[in-house]
Amino acid sequence: PETAASKRPNATPPGPASDNKCARLSQDENNKVAALFQTFKERLDVKQDRRERIVKLSRDITMESKRLIFTLHRVAGASDEERLAVLTEVSQRLDKLIASKLLPISSELTGQDPWEYRRAYSPGLQELIEAMTFLEFLSTGRLLSLSGGVRDRLPSGLLVSQFDYLLGVCDLSGELMRLALNAAAKADFDTPERVLAFLQKLLGCCETVPDRGPDWFPKDFAGKLETMRQSVEKVETVCYQQCLRCIEESNIQLPVVTH
């Protein structure tokens, strides 16, 4: 009797034409995948090259900003004329730095997602903000704001986040502490008191910000906040020592408090 298997037509064995067709299809698929990954490679190379250029510019900004801060410390014990000359010089150099380094970064970010490259230039930007706020304090005694001060002076296409501003302001406390110590060493009693009043208000504002947050929150804020507290304590100690020295020199008798 015939079975179901015996009724089936005999399968035609694959021939050379079929093998060639499969090989061509496989080769075409491989070419498409290779072309796709080549496109990915080119895009990644472009992004990496752009990132490297931005990192290099950021390093240059960091170095020049440190030089500006060092120059600003020359105002300690200087005459009014010398002080004005230093502030004018730093302001002019700051404009040149923005034009030569910040503007190219802004151009690199044109048409790009700025948050994708923020970490590449954030260190230099923080150092620049530290120099800008230090210059503002020495010029006016005030804190340079983010929206009405920092962003207005920097290129409009450059992302300046609240995090960069906050971290730069935290670093400012260290420079103000050095300013107070240098002034005290040169018998300048007014500067440490002004610095202390400013730092105490600044610390109070910064302490309202949580020192920890989500994954996108800057991890180094807690450390910078603790460093700011230490800077404030050092200036408080300097002012306290000045008060004791004045009391000793004037032979003022302090009231005795009894309980």
For the chain, 259 residues long, give each residue's pLDDT as a single digit of tens.
555 555 555 555 555 666 666 666 667 677 777 777 778 787 888 889 999 999 999 999 999 999 999 999 999 888 899 999 999 999 999 999 999 999 999 999 998 998 899 999 999 999 999 999 999 999 999 999 998 899 999 998 899 999 999 999 999 999 999 999 999 988 888 999 999 999 999 999 999 987 666 665 778 888 999 999 999 999 999 999 888 888 777 765 555 556 5
How far is the C-alpha of 96 from the C-alpha of 103, rounded, in Å?
10
Please state the pTM of the whole predicted model. Answer: 0.81
Q: Of 195, 207, 205, 206, whose CA–CA distance to 233 is shortest?
A: 195
Other C-beta atoms lying within 10 Å of the C-beta of residue 97:
20
How far is the C-alpha of 135 from the C-alpha of 190, rounded, in Å?
18
Amino acid at 17: A
User: Please, where in the chain does CATH 1.20.58.190 lie?
Assistant: 41-144
User: Please, where in the chain does CATH 1.20.58.200 lie?
Assistant: 161-252
- Predicted pLDDT at 215: 61
Residues 6+ apart with CB under 8 A from 50: 108, 112, 117
Angle at 213 between CA 210 and CA 136, to 5 degrees: 55
- Predicted pLDDT at 35: 77
- Predicted pLDDT at 187: 84
Is residue 175 a known part of a binding site? yes
The CATH architecture annotation of domain 41-144 reads: Up-down Bundle (1.20)
How far is the CA of 123 from the CAs of 85, 117, 160, 173, in angstroms?
28, 12, 12, 17
Q: Of 207, 211, 230, 209, whose CA–CA distance to 221 is shortest?
A: 211
Select from 3.40.47.10, 3.40.50.12640, 1.20.58.200, 3.40.50.20 the CATH code of 161-252.
1.20.58.200
For residues 187 and 223, is the Cβ–Cβ distance under 8 A? no
DSSP annotation of 1: -
Q: Of 156, 177, 167, whose CA–CA distance to 124 is shortest?
A: 167
| List of E strands, the chain | none
How many Cα atoms are found within 13 Å in the side-chain-facing hemisphere of 248?
6
How far is the C-alpha of 133 from the C-alpha of 126, rounded, in Å?
11
Amino acid at 231: S
